[in-house]
Amino acid sequence: MIPELQATLARLPDHPGVYLFKDASGGVLYVGKAQSLRHRVRSYWQKRARGGSWGIFSIDQVATVEWTLTDTVSEALLLEASLIKRHQPQYNARLKDDKSYPFIKVTLADDFPRIERTRRLVQDGSRYFGPYASVTSVDSAMDLIRRLFPFRTCTIPIRDGERALPRPCLLYDIKRCQGPCIEAISKDDYRHDIDQVMLFLEGRQEQVTRHLRREMEAASNSLDYERAASLRDQLRAVERTTESQKMAAYSRTQQDVLGLARGNGEAAVQLFVVRGGRMVGRDVFTLVSRSEVPDDEVLAAFVKQYYANAASVPPAILLPFQPAEVEDLQAYLAERRGTRVTLTVPQRGDKRELVALATRNAEDALAREQARRLADQGQLLSALEELSDALGLPATPVRIECYDISTIQGSDTVGSMVVFVDGKPAPAQYRRFRVKTVEGTDDFASHREVLRRRFRRAALEAEEGIGPDEARWQMPDLVLIDGGKGQVSAAKEVLDDLGLHDLPLAGIAKQREELFLPGAHDPIVLPGTAPALHLVQRLRDEAHRFAITYHRSLRGKRQTRSVFDDLPGLGPKRRRALLRAFGSVRRVREASVEEIASVPGIGRGLAERVHDALAAG
């Protein structure tokens, strides 16, 4: 053990907290929590000293240990989930893309709340339902409540007692909105309807139907037959939905049911949300987990990370087996809920069957996802092999780079480089270039400059002894140019000058989607349905999109530049002072030298330069 690490372990406190194991480069290997940081962290090295091994990774990989103290184990669990999300350590089981899970948000802080989809939890007085596993799950729930309950979907600011619009929109006419914008409904009545929506999202459909039935009878007794008919239709719609969600013979308590399946470095957890004897929600969540991580730790990881963000925690959660650290998890969940939460592994009866059903669904979801991924990988491999054969490459290209030039009316010429690895985009490796040595519109010269700059940087990295795995400018297996014979010839000239004679190169012409090779007279024409052609088109279109985006950005900055920007001695503060004093560039242009010089920070000499420059412009 290195002395620095030994000294760190000696300072570990006997206190609850979260620890991070980092490697020599500072990357986070593993995040864990402990009742006693001293005992837990030291146990890894004590186990190795006794000849044991931890099983997930070698403790020799750990170069540094960092920790954060917490007051309780529950706080440590919450912090652990947050750090796993932030650092994505390779040896923790973790939710896949968990930071993007969507919620349904009810904006209760508004006089007339809206119901919308969101990915951000903000302490703004709103009520949140979720998280859902996908946007599709949220949209299904939103579509259902839109059919059952009218509520506003616009973002118009509406305040109680104020008419926001002279007339309502179409949604009011088709009875999908109550028209708060024209004061067609009071704040209290609108809030009552929103309360029904929230009860429905909570799974309390029976309470919703009781409310609707009472209101319908009251409207009928007061001879308000139109409202009674509307409430009757809404009641029937809710009852039909409720009937379709019933689950016979299952517990009527509030509970979540989890099923777990694992395979090929992934895990799937099927979540059933059961409220009042009915399944009111179901979602599948995927996790990344190394095969060495035990099942009980994977299940515990899901519970910690999912319920750290969940809008509500039920009093009971049914599981296929006991997760790791079950007592700490129960305390953590109870703190989040505010009352006792039990993690139960049912041994018999309907609850056991329900867990088994969730497990079968998880297995099926994982198998379908892996089959889809294998099919996609098979198609990509087929396209790469087909492209290799068509171009006569020595091997199937793993890394393909595609280049495009963008210029409009000869200004702000830029180049883009996009990278596909194994047939899939690798955006982190995209690069963009501002063309510096070419005046006007010259596609060939622009390609030459971009390629020369790109491959010189690769040569510099090689001279410095930077290996291919660490290099920022890795060498490609194929270079594609957006263009025909002329662009390919220009690119070939650069590659030959740099000694890259054997680097495969091709161009794709826009008009007939033909592929051109250096020195070849006739182009290569791939069939219109060929996977290789579709792959090349994706590369070309992505390079064009990336170049156009950069070009628009530069052009926008140039167009918003003030005539002041090119004047020496006139920095940002003085420019702001002039604009504050005169209000616009036009008024500065109309001002005299004396008036300009009277602005604080502008002397006589600078005022004369500003006056002369504006007069000349």
pLDDT tens digit sequence for 151-208: 888 888 888 878 878 888 888 888 788 888 988 889 998 998 888 888 877 766 667 7
Please check the confidence at residue 521 and state whether its pLDDT lies above 60: yes
CB 105 within 8 A of CB 145: no
CB 391 within 8 A of CB 515: yes
Contacts 24+ apart (CB under 8 A), 113-120: 113/151, 113/190, 113/191, 113/194, 114/151, 114/152, 114/153, 114/154, 114/155, 115/142, 115/145, 115/151, 115/153, 115/194, 115/197, 116/153, 117/142
pLDDT at 244: 41
How do residues 306-335 score in pLDDT, each as one tens digit? 888 787 788 999 999 999 889 989 998 998
Residue 505: other Cβ atoms inside 10 A: 21
pLDDT at 430: 93
Instruction: Enumerate the domain spans of the chain.
Output: 3-92, 100-245, 255-368, 399-557, 563-616
pLDDT category of residue 585 using cuts at 50, 70 and 90 = confident
CB 508 within 8 A of CB 526: no
Instruction: Look at residue 526 and give its three-state secondary structure.
Output: coil
Instruction: Look at residue 320 and give its three-state secondary structure.
Output: coil
Which of 105-109, 214-218, 328-332 is predicted least confidently?
A: 214-218
Please check the confidence at residue 61 and state whether its pLDDT lies above 50: yes
CA distance 282 to 186: 35
Residue 393: other Cβ atoms inside 10 A: 16
pLDDT category of residue 393 using cuts at 50, 70 and 90 = very high
Contacts 24+ apart (CB under 8 A), 425-432: 425/542, 429/474, 430/546, 432/546, 432/547, 432/550
**Residues 355-367: what's their mean pLDDT?**
87
Instruction: Look at residue 578 and give its three-state secondary structure.
Output: helix
Which candidate, 60, 7, 70, 9, places its Cα nearest to that of 39? 9
In angstroms, how far apart are the furthest CA atoms of the chain? Answer: 94
CA distance 395 to 440: 39
What are the tokens at 425?
A: 């985009």
Please give the full DSSP string across 215-254, using - where no structure is assigned: HHHHHHHTT-HHHHHHHHHHHHHHHHHHHHHB-TT---S-
pLDDT at 246: 38
The end-to-end CA distance of the chain, in Å, is: 71
The class (CATH top level) of 563-616 is: mainly alpha
**Helix ranges restricted to H, 101-160:** 135-148
Instruction: Look at residue 97 and give its three-state secondary structure.
Output: coil
Burial of 294 (0-12, 13-18, 19+ CB in 10 A): middle
pLDDT at 357: 87
Q: Which amino acid is at 1?
A: M
CA–CA–CA angle 493, 499, 501 (5° rounding)? 70
CA distance 270 to 283: 6
CA distance 481 to 401: 9
CA distance 533 to 518: 19
How do residues 73-82 score in pLDDT, each as one tens digit? 878 888 888 8
Contacts 24+ apart (CB under 8 A), 145-150: 145/115, 145/197, 145/200, 145/201, 146/176, 147/237, 148/200, 148/234, 148/237, 148/238, 148/241, 149/193, 149/196, 149/197, 149/200, 149/234, 150/175, 150/176, 150/177, 150/178, 150/193
pLDDT at 321: 94
The class (CATH top level) of 255-368 is: alpha beta
> Which H or E element spans position 343?
strand 342-344
**Residues 393-402: what's their mean pLDDT?**
94
Which tops the pLDDT comparison, 123 or 546? 546
**Residues 422-443: what's their mean pLDDT?**
87
How do residues 224-245 score in pLDDT, each as one tens digit? 777 777 777 767 766 655 444 4
Please check the confidence at residue 342 and state whether its pLDDT lies above 90: yes
Which candidate, 268, 245, 266, places its Cα nearest to that of 359? 268
Give domain 399-557's CATH architecture: 2-Layer Sandwich (3.30)
How do residues 364-385 score in pLDDT, each as one tens digit? 888 878 777 767 778 888 899 9
The class (CATH top level) of 3-92 is: alpha beta
3-state secondary structure labels for all residues of 158-184: CCCCCCCCCCCCHHHHCCCCCCHHHCC
Instruction: Look at residue 508 and give its three-state secondary structure.
Output: strand
Cis peptide before 315 (omega within 30 of 0): no
pLDDT at 103: 82
Which candidate, 398, 405, 444, places its Cα nearest to that of 424? 398
Q: Do domains 255-368 and 563-616 have the same CATH topology?
A: no
CB 91 within 8 A of CB 290: yes
pLDDT at 561: 53
pLDDT at 248: 35
Instruction: Look at residue 507 and give its three-state secondary structure.
Output: strand
Burial of 71 (0-12, 13-18, 19+ CB in 10 A): exposed
Which of 415-424, 516-525, 606-615 is predicted least confidently?
A: 606-615
Average pLDDT, the chain: 82
> Which H or E element spans position 350?
helix 349-391
Please check the confidence at residue 270 and state whether its pLDDT lies above 60: yes
Q: How, if at all, do strands 255-263 and 316-318 pair?
A: parallel
How do residues 8-49 score in pLDDT, each as one tens digit? 888 888 888 899 998 888 888 899 888 899 999 988 888 765
Contacts of 338 (CB under 8 A, 6+ apart): none
The residue length of the chain stands at: 617
Residue environment code for 585-612, b if the CB has 16+ CB neighbours within 10 A, otherwise e: beebbebeeebbbebeebeeebbebbbe
Please check the confidence at residue 475 and state whether its pLDDT lies above 60: yes
Which tops the pLDDT comparison, 74 or 270? 270
pLDDT at 243: 42
What are the tokens at 301?
A: 């990881």
pLDDT category of residue 579 using cuts at 50, 70 and 90 = confident
Please check the confidence at residue 597 and state whether its pLDDT lies above 90: no
pLDDT at 582: 77
Residue environment code for 438-474, b if the CB has 16+ CB neighbours within 10 A, otherwise e: beeebbbbbbbbbbbbbbeebeebeeeeeeeeeeebb
How do residues 536-559 score in pLDDT, each as one tens digit? 988 998 998 888 887 777 665 554
pLDDT at 411: 65
